[in-house]
Amino acid sequence: MLKFQETAKHVSVSSSNSACSDAAIARRYTIQRKLGNGSFGSVYLVSDKKAKQGDEL
């Protein structure tokens, strides 16, 4: 049985803060698209520029 109840916080994200398809992380990973989000953060599909063809994380 829950002893507390979480309330959703309203968060607005401007387009300047959202990830775009040409954004690079550490000059290695390119963000493809956002997969989802939860209470601890967001999950993105990325491609690795330095990985060989067929290598997967």
Contact 20, 31 (CB under 8 A): yes
Whole-angstrom Cα distance, residue 55 to residue 21? 21
Give residue-wise pLDDT tens across range 4-17: 555 544 444 434 44
What is the pLDDT, as a whole number, of residue 57? 60
Euclidean distance between CA atoms 36 and 1, whole angstroms: 28
Parse the chain into domains and list their residue ranges.
Answer: 20-49
Of 12, 8, 18, the C-alpha closest to 39 is 8
pTM: 0.50
Q: What is the pLDDT of residue 10?
A: 46
Note the pLDDT of residue 14: 39
Q: What is the pLDDT along the chain (57 residues), one digit of tens a residue?
A: 555 555 544 444 434 445 555 677 888 888 989 999 999 999 999 888 888 776 666
Q: Tokens representing 50? A: 């330095």
